[in-house]
Each structure stands twice: as structure tokens, then as C-alpha cells.
A = this chain, B = another copy of it.
Amino acid sequence: MKIALAQLNYHIGNFEDNSEKIIRHLSLAKSKGADLVVFSELSVTGYYPHDLLERKEFIARAEQAVNKIAKECSGIAAIIGAPVINQSERGKKLFNSALFLADGKVQSTHHKSLLPTYDVFDEYRHFEPNKEFRVISYNGVRLAITVCEDLWDEQPTKNEFGRDKLYQNSPLEELSKQNPDIVINISASPFSYNQENWRKNILVKKAQAYNLPIVYVNQVGAQTELIFDGGSVYINGKGEIIKELAYFTEDFMIIDAGNPGSISIQPKTGYIEKIHDALVLGIHDYFAKMDFKSATLGLSGGIDSAVTLVLAARALGPENIRVLLMPSKFSSAHSVNDARELAENLGVRYDIVNIQDVVDQFNKGLSPIFEGLPHDVTEENIQARARGVYVMALSNKFESILLNTTNKSECAVGYGTLYGDMNGGLAVLADVYKTDVFKMSRFMNKDGEIIPENTIIKPPSAELKPGQKDTDSLPEYDDLDQILFKYIELNQTPDEIIRDGFQEQVVNKVIRMVNINEYKRFQAPPVLRISSKAFGFGRKMPLVAKY
């Protein structure tokens, strides 16, 4: 049987485009002699529609799209993903289902059993878990059709307090009793640089354990925070990855399941390159799917805004970006020159506006109220917020989305001004630690200097008071980032981190900064997620709490 793997980029709620894309690939597969095309999880709606799943008109439109696609399935079969109404009296209103389409209609539905409800996943909010398992036969081949997490009954554990068996049952164990010939898994599995091998390992182990080939089709493309990386695979019954589709782009491949041919997998790349590609896709799709063309940002001469700008220029084209340089009396001459040089290297239009006049005016307006009180962080924040007003004015006037340039280290410890440099429609680097931002700048310069060397080598500074350096109030980034990774991604306790060789005082200070700044992150822009634990809806901490 010839199976086409259709790894496509969907748009949530855009039923016209999604079904047009599915139908176009059905035709393509048919013209190339495929028997079956496999699309990804919730391909009809895009993953994940969140509470749109609670709206009647949304579900009705999904049903219409399914029927429209089914009508196109003559002479070829397809497996698509869509929400299906739970007809039983009890349980949640919907199932998250794989639909087997052939001969112009839905032949069978296969509901998802294991509903991820952790980190960024929220599926039990909307879906009832499946309890019935059925292998179907098509052209004499017995198909075990599963949806994403259904193969993850045994999870790799992230930490001591994690669980490897999150669920009460194993769908593949149930399906294997019905003697399938092949496992189909339709998926929507987002990228995270420190977990991407888990996914393949789990598939390989399942193929080996049941001696069954697996066709795994993942979604590709970004949906606000989540970046789906594709990398769909065909794995044989020995657990060998025979075919691997592209990463971070749409791809399509027809495989003869009986005779899949020689091994063809993607070239290995480093984690910084992967993060780079993920972020470029993340920016691109945010703009494309929001129907926005142009971006703006404040270019400071520092490393974060420089790396953000390069990523944006690659995602959107330099001609679609316009940046603002906003020096104050505390800005070094270097900063303006470095920023200007970068903009010129990229061919990005820039304007310069000095913020000193408005800052002075704010301070003058406040002087009767603040009379006799010492300068403090208030005056630093006024500078950051004056910049925020200027760059938002550009954003408003030219209908450009403001890109936020905060990195994960800053975001974690609250080193940023709310309604100032924390502004933006999308936070590009807020899941990338500062030390990785530096690595990415080197990666960007590997074929010639784009980011001025001075931007990379000078000591990081917010330039909000004379001679200020980040290390005045923060530990060195090498230490800081390791402590943060252990606390946030690895979920280690303070004691465990101290036992790993970090100073107790430093660890406690860092963790306290993370904890007390939850209120700032609550109002931060959406964060492009590239790690296993990003700030945002995958990490929900109470604001009013003592810990």
C-alpha cells in the first residue's frame, strides 16, 4: 500500500484554507498513485483551537469541512483530524478524533484516548477520552489508527517528581490484540530543543515493542506560542527510521509501506540552529496568520534587539521592518553606532529619536509630587516607558507589530520594565536564555559579520543610569542561566540546585526574583516557545501566593 505523508501548516479556524490545502494534497497524492493520505491531528481546525471548541458554530463548520473533504475521497482514502461530537449521554461534548475517509464519506472514527493535560496541553478541558479500540481493514491492510499522545502511555520523565506512566491504559496495547499490520499516528507535537529526541525514541520503542511499522505525521508551522516542527517519519517494524520529512517547513512524501526503500533522513543540526529556524518560522507564521505585513522594534545597540532584528529580517524580509533608535543621556555613543551599523548591514530602515526631552518633561511634571524624594528605579522606568510610547506610536501609525526583545533570563528575574521594554505583540527571545542569545549571534555571523562585534563583546547593560551593568544586580549570566534552567526546566528544588554546586545565597536570590516577578510575566506578550518549559500558558503560577 502506498501511503502519502502530508505534513502541512494549518491555520486555526481557517476552514476554507485548511480544507483547500487538504484537498489539494489529496489530488496530488492520487495523481502519484497513493492509496492513502495521512494528515495531522486536528488538521481541519488547526491545533489547538482552545475554547473555540466550545462554540457551536465552530464545530458545525468543522463538520462541514470534514464532509467536503470526504466527498473528494474517491479512488483514494484519507485520514484527517477533527473534533467529533460525543453522542453518548455522559462525558465531555467532544472527542479529538482521526477520521478515516473513503468512497466519499467518513468510514470510521478513531477517538484519542490519552489526552495531554500538562504544560501547554489542555485537552481534557474539551475532550472525552476514548475507551473503545478498533483496527480497520483497508485494501487488505489492517490499520491501527491513533492520535498523537495515544503512543505516549509511557513518558520519558523530566525529573524525580515527574511520572512515566501518566495514564491508566495503553491504546497500542489494546489495538495490538486485533493484529494490525501498521500503526498510523496523526500528531500535533510542538518543538522543544531539549526534548526533540524523546519523540523519535518513543516511536522507535513502540515499533520495536510491537514489531509494527509506524507512520507518524506531525503538524508543521507556528500557532502564536507553539512552533510545530514537522519531522514526520516512517519507522519499520524493527524500529528503524527509514524516512524522515523536513523540519520547520511543509513536506510531502509517498511511501510504499511494503517496500519503503533505502534510509533517507534529515541532516543533523545543532541546537542553536534549530532554535534559530524555529524562531524564524514562529515570527513568520505569527505575521502571516494574523495578516500583518510589517514589524517594528526598538534597536538599542545591545545583543537582544540585534538578534531579534536579524530573526525578524529573515522571517519577514528587511523591507518590511522599520526600527527606532532611542538614545538618552545615558546611552553610550557606541550603542547608537552599533545599532545603526546593524540596521545598515541588514538594509532595514531606521529612525532616531532622542528620548531625553520627554523624560525631562515627565520628571518636571512629577517634581512637585516627588519633591525631596531620592531618585530610584522610578526614574529608570520612566526612560524605558518613554521608549515604549515612542515605539508603540510607530507601531500604531504604520500598522506594524512591535516585536519584544526580552530574553528568558531577564524575563525570569523580572529585569525589565512593564509597559516599557516589556511591550510587544510577540516576544521573540523570551524562551531563549541570554547565554544562548550570545551563541545565536555568533551563529548569525558565521558567514560574515552582520551583528557588529562590539554588540557581542560589550558587557550587557540596560543603560538606564550612568555606567550601569546587568551584573550590578544579577549574577554572571553563565551561573544565572544554569540556576534558572535547573529551577524552571528541570523543576529542581533550591536544595538540589545548591547541592549541584551553586552558592546558597545566589540560588535563593535568583529563585526569589523568579517567584516575585510572576505579576510582570502575567502581562507579558505571548512567548515563542522553544524549550520544554516556557513562560506563558504552559507554566501557571498563582500570583497571590507565598512560596
Q: Are B385 and A397 in contact (CB under 8 A)?
A: no
A289 contacts the other chain (Cβ, under 8 Å)?
yes
**Interface residue ranges of A67-115 to B (CB < 8 Å):** 89-93
When C-beta atoms are compared, the residue in chain B nearest to A85 turns out to be: B161
A54 contacts the other chain (Cβ, under 8 Å)?
yes
Most chain B CB atoms below 10 A, which of A165, A354, A523: A523
Considering the chains assembled together, what is the distance between the CA atoms of A482 and B378 in angstroms? 42
Chain B positions within 8 Å of A390 at CB level: 362, 365-366
Chain B positions within 8 Å of A161 at CB level: 54-56, 59, 93
Which segment of A42-50, A234-242, A435-443, A448-456 sits at the interface? A42-50
Chain B positions within 8 Å of A381 at CB level: 392-393, 396
Chain B positions within 8 Å of A392 at CB level: 381, 385, 418-419
- Which one of B46, B92, B373, B542 contacts A397 once the chains associate, using CB atoms below 8 Å? B373
When C-beta atoms are compared, the residue in chain B nearest to A115 turns out to be: B124
- Which one of B13, B285, B388, B537 contacts A419 once the chains associate, using CB atoms below 8 Å? B388
Q: Are B546 and A12 in contact (CB under 8 A)?
A: yes
**Interface residue ranges of A488-547 to B (CB < 8 Å):** 491, 493-495, 519, 522-526, 537, 539-547
Q: Are B526 and A524 in contact (CB under 8 A)?
A: no
With contact pairs A118-B125, A419-B423 given, residues A544 and B224 touching in the complex (Cβ less than 8 Å): yes
- Which one of B14, B54, B93 contacts A546 once the chains associate, using CB atoms below 8 Å? B14
* Closest Cβ–Cβ distance, residue A127 to chain B (whole Å): 10
A333 contacts the other chain (Cβ, under 8 Å)?
no
A167 contacts the other chain (Cβ, under 8 Å)?
yes
Q: Are A542 and B12 in contact (CB under 8 A)?
A: yes
Chain B positions within 8 Å of A125 at CB level: 117-118, 122
Chain B positions within 8 Å of A418 at CB level: 392, 423
* Closest Cβ–Cβ distance, residue A385 to chain B (whole Å): 5
> Could you list 11 further interchain pairs (A-B, Cβ under 8 angstroms) beyond the known A17-B546, A366-B390?
A57-B494, A91-B165, A117-B125, A122-B125, A289-B546, A290-B543, A353-B366, A358-B358, A358-B365, A370-B393, A378-B396
Name 6 A/B residue pairs within 8 A (Cβ), A-sorted: A17-B546, A90-B167, A286-B544, A362-B390, A362-B393, A522-B526
